[in-house]
Chains A and B, each alone.
Chain A
Amino acid sequence: MAMMPKRVKFRKSQRGKMKGNATRGNYVAYGEYGLQSLESAWIPAKTLEAARVAVSHAIGRSGRLFRRVFPQKSVSAKPLEVRMGSGKGEPDFWCAVVKPGTVLFELSGVSETVAKRAFARVAHKMPVRTRFVSRRHTVA
């Protein structure tokens, strides 16, 4: 089942801007390997769900997947063959707003080879260019 918020203050949201880079959620925090976005985009909930399924098929019963983005934003659309006007359309789908640098998914408990293979499958499904990243060492 695709993710969406349980409770919201407003059903419909404004479009917003996606300028700049990610200043939070931009490093591997929970797992050992991650998939990082290099572009900004709205990623629909069903795409994130497809990615989860692809990863669970690739890693089998080993490892753990962390989802670092959540579809908080509703996108509205008007039905087909409806004239313009008469207010904003109804919510069509939910999406996560992603900026360059955002870590989309993380994996732990798997080897680097398995993680790379799993994230390669996810990368094909994503509407953004991505890259494979590892946890960085504690330096200070």
Chain B
Amino acid sequence: MASAIKLSAETREKLGTRTTRRLRNAGKLPAIVYGHGEAPLAITVPTKAFFDSLDQGAHLFELGIGSKAETVLLRDVQFDHLGTNIIHADFARVDLNERVTVTIGIELTGTPIGEKDGGKLQQTLNEVEIEALVTEIPDAIHHDVSGMKLDDALHVSELTIPAGVKVLTDADSVVAVLHAILEEASTSDAATPEPEVIKKEKTADEAETKK
């Protein structure tokens, strides 16, 4: 379960591309705090401390902004074009006894029995949307798949969900399947035909006017 991770934050007076770029170079991550009917607040958080807490699967933070402390939920992060670095974070103000909707990852553990029969586990769904108390948001949904046999499918409804957590994703969605490995169909080197060109069909009136 998530406990609030303490981070010291500073307010940002100057906004804009150039300023935020300088902040990132100085090891500070631009972020915004909003919600609960209060005015949005542009802030910075220390990049390294924030990344370390993300690695631990943190969702909930306690931001020390000046003399004030705010409990916030991580709502969104923006990545650069290569998806390597986080360049901005969104925090939403929350109460500790508030139920919130968040997306969390699914982690499958164990080796299925069916793999001995030539099967291969394929995970098709990697995250689920849940509703839970702010203080009870799990790091991830852990599910043991060691009991899965060949051609078995794991659905969202069968996942091991912690108490107090409600899953909002469709219960019939397939999380993982254990398929037998099939030989790939051989592709022929036959001459490739041209694609069909989509043409607008002429109406009778248009054909007559042309004549």
Q: Which residues of A contact B (CB under 8 A)?
A: 1-2, 4-11, 21-23, 26-27, 36, 38, 56, 61-64, 91, 100-101, 108-109, 133, 135-140
Contact = CB atoms under 8 A, between A and B. Distances in A.
B77 A6 contact: no
Given A62-B181, A109-B120, A139-B77, A36 B194 contact: no
Given A138-B103, A138-B104, A139-B54, A23 B195 contact: no
Contact of B75 (A7, A10, A140): A140
B127 A138 contact: yes
Contacts of A4: 192, 195
B122 A11 contact: no
B197 interface: yes
> Interface residues of A: mostly helix, strand, loop or mixed?
loop
B81 A26 contact: yes
Given A133-B83, A138-B104, A139-B74, A56 B188 contact: no
Given A56-B184, A61-B183, A7 B105 contact: no
A136 B102 CA distance: 17
B82 interface: yes
Given A5-B195, A136-B79, 13 more contacts: A1-B190, A1-B192, A4-B192, A7-B195, A8-B197, A9-B198, A62-B181, A108-B122, A109-B122, A137-B54, A139-B77, A139-B86, A140-B103
A61 B120 CA distance: 10
A27 B83 CA distance: 6
A138 B187 contact: no
Nearest to A110: B120
B126 A9 contact: no
Contacts, number: 80
A64 B83 contact: no
B189 interface: yes
A100 B81 contact: yes
Q: Which 5 A-B pairs have the closest CB atoms?
A: A21-B81, A138-B105, A101-B81, A7-B196, A8-B195
Interface size class of chain B, counting residues whose CB lies under 8 Å from the partner chain: 35 or more
A138 B126 contact: yes
Interface of B: 54, 57, 59, 74-77, 79, 81-83, 86, 90, 102-105, 120-123, 126-127, 140, 181, 183-184, 187-190, 192, 194-198
A56 B104 CA distance: 32
A136 B82 CA distance: 12
A140 B121 CA distance: 26
Given A1-B190, A1-B192, A61-B183, A22 B81 contact: yes
B83 A136 contact: yes
